[in-house]
A = this chain, B = another copy of it.
Amino acid sequence: MTTTLHFKRGELYSFITGQASTAIARRLQKKFNHASLNLTIEQWSVLYHLWKTDGISQQDLCNATFRDKPSITRLVDNLERLELVKRVPSDKDRRVNHIFLTDYGRSLRDKSMSIAEDTLNEALVGVPADKIETCKQVLQIVYNNLK
């Protein structure tokens, strides 16, 4: 008897391709569009961290969103074009940009978070709370194992 896991073929596909999270993201995007929220999920995920802590650096956003620097550069480019955020060069370290929400960016918080909660609740219909908890734990361990 051993605890070594051998994943059976045929069971690994959906884990690797992340079908569940893809489905969640698509549903959320559809709801954003339907609500005339002109936002991609990726842009929303950046705003999400700024709503928690406004004025963090691009590198902070890289760490928080699990993205690399070029991805954040372009996301911030697009968010600036949409007038949702503004780059402000740091006084103390001239390599650093601080990213600040505009009033408009701040204004999208409640509506979009509410839509995100609705989406997750739709996704989890029929799933008992204790199983959700277990699932979250497993995904957290996976993330820690690999990050």
Taking beta carbons and an 8 Å cutoff, which residues of A are in contact with B? 3-7, 9, 11-28, 41, 45, 48, 65-66, 113, 116-117, 119-129, 131-132, 134-143, 145-147
Contact = CB atoms under 8 A, between A and B. Distances in A.
Nearest to A51: B9
Nearest to A30: B146
By secondary structure, the A interface counts as helix
A28 B7 contact: no
B142 A23 contact: yes
Given A6-B117, A24-B142, 4 more contacts: A3-B129, A6-B121, A124-B141, A135-B135
Copy tally for this chain in the complex stands at 2
Contact of A127 (B113, B119, B124, B142): B142
15 contacts: A7-B120, A9-B113, A14-B140, A14-B143, A15-B24, A15-B120, A16-B120, A17-B45, A18-B25, A24-B142, A122-B146, A124-B141, A124-B142, A127-B142, A131-B134
A135 to B, nearest CB: 4
